[in-house]
Structure 1
Amino acid sequence: MGAVLDVASIIGAGGLENPIAGPTLQARFAAGLEVRVRSRDGCSMPITALLPDFANLLLGAADESAFTNALSSAVQALGFHFFAVAHHDLRDRDAPVGLEIHNYPEEWRASYAARQLGRSDPIRRASHVWACGFRWRDARDIVSFSSADDAILEDAQAFGIDEGFTMGVHVPGEARGSVSFATRVGMVFPERALLQAQGLGSAVFQVARMIFKTRPIVRREILTDRQLECVVWVGRGKSNWEIAQILGVTQETVKKHLQDACARYQLHNRTSLPLRALYEGSICFSDLFP
């Protein structure tokens, strides 16, 4: 039997308010027991049924505080305790950090940063090559683990972070990223909530990008279909003459298309065109490597 609560104490007249609070609910999660709520019409339902309300709060968040409060509530409704939304470290030490939002213990954050673990973190590495979310214990089946990798997860446990669930996110033109949810040491891992966690994680990353303006939306020039065709063939290593033969046009026509594309993107040479088109989302890697 789950803990049946009056949903009026969870959803106030003005919307969702402090949906997860108090030691009783946390104790239920820690013991792996189901937590249920009772709607105003008397129907009992699992607390995960409130996730649409949490999602609406996330989508409506106007600042970091509202975002983290809504995310914390949603994560706890799933049976997790910790969350992390982050772009991953770039090899360039001077590159912008990007997103870094979490509620991990400050001591763990400081230790992680001081040792620059973001560049070797096995969970992050696994998220780069896996198409959906995965439990941390399954990362060993995704990427090779070293003794140093095992030590990272053991160190996390020493700071109270136990098992987790991570999904990778990649937006062309940005550093790779991920969303992670984790349990505290002593809590039972919420196996039944992983599908909901997957859906929540995808939305969370996008909302965070919008709130923190990691990639402001601005009006950009759009290439014509013919210009994009030429750009794709440039990306495949073809010369103007070869592109002209492939498309059945003159070499001067190809040159004109590429010059116009450079002008629209404000570039000085054709070599940069495929990279810029990838960044803009006008083409994808499969266009260049069929």
Structure 2
Amino acid sequence: MIAFIEDFISSSGSVTSAEALRDLYLDAVESEGYQNAVFARTRDRRVVDIPWMRFPNGYADRYVTSGWDQIDPVVQFVHSARRPFAWSDACGKTKLSQRQKAFLADCRDMGVHSGITIPLHGPGTDVDLISISLRDERGAPPNRLAMIYGLTFQYRLRLSELNNEKLSSGQDLTAKEIECLKWCKEGKTNWEIGEILSISEKTVEFHLSNTIRKLGVSNRITAVVKGIQTGIISI
């Protein structure tokens, strides 16, 4: 998993345009079986901009002309979500109206279903999101959500870099936090890192928790991605 993300980080670092970065990301998620994808900006539970999308013919026009963003359970749920989620989870936590149920049935009929969404929170009520989904009835690849999150997080970091947006440098990480992050990149568990560094498992957990907080991310995978992106650790 980490090796796949490292390859993507390396490849994305060499692209020089947002369009090339988008195509690289779409190729990466398609290799995981996801043929549909959309990058959207939302505000107050409405879609306000769609920088890019890849859907079956006719789906995007139908979505816009029907005002589906007003009833889409994913758009409604993304504002309170802090981690990636499967669409089925969002729907399971929402009491769906008949119109929403009909919307989801229409999506499946048009080849858009079994998706996951990664929320990318901005200021106020602004939330960017990337959703990827399948076009057929087979199940999504199991246990790959963290990897998809890592790819998406790197896409967003590199896009910010291309757009000259400031990234947190993570320069306030301690030496021990950086050490733990380096071993985290190698796929070591907290117990294994503790054995290597001669510290307790709880202490490793403490250092990694601080690292995640300081880097402004939500888990180990994205901490590693941001650590590589900002030069704290190397590939």
Report TM bin, short chain.
0.5 to 0.7
Aligned partner letter, 1:138: D
Q: Does the alignment pair 1:120 with 2:71?
A: yes
- Go from structure 1 to structure 2 and tell me whether the alpha carbon gap of 1:91 and 1:150 turns closer, same or farther (over 3 Å shift): closer
- Given that 1:83 and 1:103 are in contact with CA atoms closer than 8 Å, whether structure 2 keeps it comes out as yes
Q: Does the alignment pair 1:141 with 2:92?
A: yes
Q: Does the alignment pair 1:85 with 2:39?
A: yes
- Go from structure 1 to structure 2 and tell me whether the alpha carbon gap of 1:150 and 1:113 turns closer, same or farther (over 3 Å shift): same
- The whole-number CA distance in structure 2 between the counterparts of 1:140 and 1:152 is 12
- The whole-number CA distance in structure 2 between the counterparts of 1:175 and 1:209 is 16
Alpha-carbon shift at residue 113 of structure 1 (Å):
0.9
1:49-90 CA-to-partner distances (Å, cap 9, x unmatched) read 433212333344322431222012210232322221110255
Q: Which residue of 2 aligns with 1:176?
A: 127
- The whole-number CA distance in structure 2 between the counterparts of 1:99 and 1:59 is 24
Equivalences, count? 166
Alpha-carbon shift at residue 106 of structure 1 (Å):
3.6
Q: Counterpart of 1:191 in 2: which secondary structure? A: coil
Aligned partner letter, 2:148: A
Alpha-carbon shift at residue 156 of structure 1 (Å):
1.2
Pick from 150, 160, 179: which aligns with 1:199? Answer: 150
- The whole-number CA distance in structure 2 between the counterparts of 1:108 and 1:166 is 18
Greater shift, 135-144 or 109-118, is seen at 135-144
Q: Counterpart of 2:37 in 1: which secondary structure? A: strand
TM superposition score normalised by structure 1:
0.50
Structure number with greater CO (CA < 8 Å, separation at least 6) is 2
- Given that 1:82 and 1:181 are in contact with CA atoms closer than 8 Å, whether structure 2 keeps it comes out as yes
Larger Rg: 1
Q: Which residue of 2 aligns with 1:70?
A: 24
Alpha-carbon shift at residue 109 of structure 1 (Å):
0.4
- Go from structure 1 to structure 2 and tell me whether the alpha carbon gap of 1:183 and 1:49 turns closer, same or farther (over 3 Å shift): farther
1:239-278 CA-to-partner distances (Å, cap 9, x unmatched) read xxxxxxxxxxxxxxxxxxxxxxxxxxxxxxxxxxxxxxxx
Q: Which residue of 2 aligns with 1:156?
A: 107
- Go from structure 1 to structure 2 and tell me whether the alpha carbon gap of 1:59 and 1:146 turns closer, same or farther (over 3 Å shift): farther
Quote the RMSD (CA, aligned, Å). Answer: 2.8
- The whole-number CA distance in structure 1 between the counterparts of 2:51 and 2:57 is 13
Q: Which residue of 2 aligns with 1:24?
A: none
Alpha-carbon shift at residue 146 of structure 1 (Å):
1.3
- Given that 1:88 and 1:118 are in contact with CA atoms closer than 8 Å, whether structure 2 keeps it comes out as no
Alpha-carbon shift at residue 209 of structure 1 (Å):
4.6
- Go from structure 1 to structure 2 and tell me whether the alpha carbon gap of 1:185 and 1:134 turns closer, same or farther (over 3 Å shift): same
Q: Counterpart of 2:144 in 1: which secondary structure? A: helix
Identity %: 21
- Given that 2:45 and 2:76 are in contact with CA atoms closer than 8 Å, whether structure 1 keeps it comes out as no
- Go from structure 1 to structure 2 and tell me whether the alpha carbon gap of 1:191 and 1:91 turns closer, same or farther (over 3 Å shift): closer
- Given that 2:12 and 2:21 are in contact with CA atoms closer than 8 Å, whether structure 1 keeps it comes out as yes
- The whole-number CA distance in structure 1 between the counterparts of 2:53 and 2:131 is 9
- Go from structure 1 to structure 2 and tell me whether the alpha carbon gap of 1:91 and 1:188 turns closer, same or farther (over 3 Å shift): closer
Aligned partner letter, 1:145: L
Alpha-carbon shift at residue 210 of structure 1 (Å):
4.8
Structure 2 unpaired stretches of 5+: 167-235
- Go from structure 1 to structure 2 and tell me whether the alpha carbon gap of 1:118 and 1:61 turns closer, same or farther (over 3 Å shift): farther
